[in-house]
Amino acid sequence: MAPHIRPDDTGMATLGPVRDAHRLDLPRLAEYLRGRGLEAFRDGASALQYEGGQSNPTYRLEASGEYFVLRKKPPGELLPSAHLVEREYRVMKALADTDVPVPRALDLCEDETVLGQTFFLMEHVDGRVPTGPALPEVDRPEERAAIYDAMNRALAALHAVDWRRIGLADFGKPTGYVSRQIALWTRQYEASKGGPVAAMDALIEWLPGAIPPDEETTIAHGDFRLDNLILHPTEPRVVAIVDWELSTLGHPLADLAYNCMTYHLPEGPLWKGLGAVDVRALGIPGERDYLAAYRERTGRDVSTNWDFFMAFGLFRLAAICQGVYARALQGNASSANAREVGEKAPMLARAGWTFARRAGA
């Protein structure tokens, strides 16, 4: 969950020393990677850790003057079905020859004697990471509009992929995605919650009986948003979609609604949202225009059941944030600001319940 990198105010990813809880055995790692044919690691490697990742610790490795990115499961006891770096590796590998921009996946290691947890290695992609949905680091409204259009195009391209043809027929069940997700994130929330949150309890009760009958299935990224994209260094173009941990076969409108949640969340200490921002003054399309562009690209009717999918997406993100908070209390969270992220859960649940009421709850 969450961007695996935190950009600074220039849009460049922020790197820092590897935190004590996430140290790597670099000699052992280099030995393993040399054995996998990666000769760049012949003289060892150095590592810095990306700031901001809430789920899987992420590192930039340097070896023989080349950069690589490593993603691994965090240490400690993990919630069931969480931190599935294996799925990230598999989906990026499968998407390599499609129109979906992804980093090149290089190696997956499930031998926990190497680093203590499963990890994978991918290419390092040069580019800009958006600092927030308002794109404050971008000077021109026209470029902001083009970046949002590029994000829209990337999501539409993902939802157009023939998942059977690229070998992902067993990447998830082709039906029942929403019901399974509600059950999964209810379990995850119950396993990590602290005190009661009335809005979350209401969503847990309402969502299962309100699921729309439409069963359309595509590859779903699961965490598709602006700060999980890498943009070309100078052009308004997506060069990589990252953070595929939550990907599966799922409903495309769930991905789209998740992508649009920022339009309904405020700018503030707990969330970078567009809810109180004059988006048109910035050149950013309003939600209606963004949805129209997606509809034009895909032919999907996005208006039907939109409030349900927004409620579902906010519920799901609230559960994810609660899990981040639980890991912060255990001391094995991937980011130094994990407690702050966890405090988002009640706010997200309340926003989700607002959409549920609009949908007839």
How confident is the model over 278-311, as pLDDT tens digits? 999 999 999 999 999 999 999 999 988 999 999 9
Place of tokens 């309890």: 201
Q: How many Å apart are CA 221 and CA 210, to the nearest integer? A: 23
What percent helix, strand, coil does the chain show, rounded to 5?
Answer: 45, 15, 40
| More confident: 1 or 355 | 355
Average pLDDT over residues 313-341: 69
pLDDT at 83 over 90: no
The token pair at 357 is 């009421």
Model confidence at 47: pLDDT above 50 = yes
Sign of CA dihedral 61, 62, 67, 68: negative
Quote the pLDDT of residue 219. 98
Class level of CATH domain 15-123: alpha beta
For residue 331, which phi and psi values (nearest 5 degrees)?
90, 10
The ranges of the chain annotated as CATH 3.90.1200.10 are 141-358
* Higher-confidence position of 11 and 171: 171
Task: State the CATH class of domain 141-358.
Answer: alpha beta
Q: Where in the chain is CATH 3.30.200.20?
A: 15-123
* Residue 210 to residues 262, 315, 334, Cα–Cα distance (Å): 23, 14, 35
In the beta sheet, which residues pair with residue 16? 49
Of 54 and 41, which is predicted with more confidence?
A: 41
- On average, the pLDDT of the chain sits at 89
pLDDT of residue 5: 38
Q: pTM (2 decimals)?
A: 0.88
**Pairing relationship of beta strands 66-72 and 105-109 according to DSSP bridges:** unpaired
CA distance 217 to 316: 18
Return the H-helix or E-strand segment holding 70: strand 66-72
At residue 327, the pLDDT reads: 60
pLDDT tens digits, one per residue of 97-135: 999 999 999 999 999 999 999 999 999 999 999 989 999
pLDDT per position as a tens digit, 248-285: 999 999 999 999 999 999 876 657 799 989 999 999 99
pLDDT in the model for residue 10: 37
Residue 182: which pLDDT band, with cuts at 50, 70 and 90? very high
pLDDT mean over 178-196: 89
DSSP annotation of 337: T
pLDDT digits (tens, 9 = 90+) for 5-30: 344 443 446 889 999 889 999 999 99
Q: What is the average per-residue pLDDT within 166-177?
A: 95
Residue 302 corresponds to which tokens in the numbers above?
Answer: 């996005």
Q: Choose among 103, 142, 97, 139: nearest CA to 123.
A: 103
Cα–Cα distance, 24 to 300 (Å, whole number): 45
Render pLDDT for 215-238 as a digit per residue (tens, 0 to 9).
Answer: 899 999 999 999 899 999 999 999
Report the distance separating Cα 89 and Cα 11, nearest Å: 25
pLDDT at residue 58 tops 80: yes
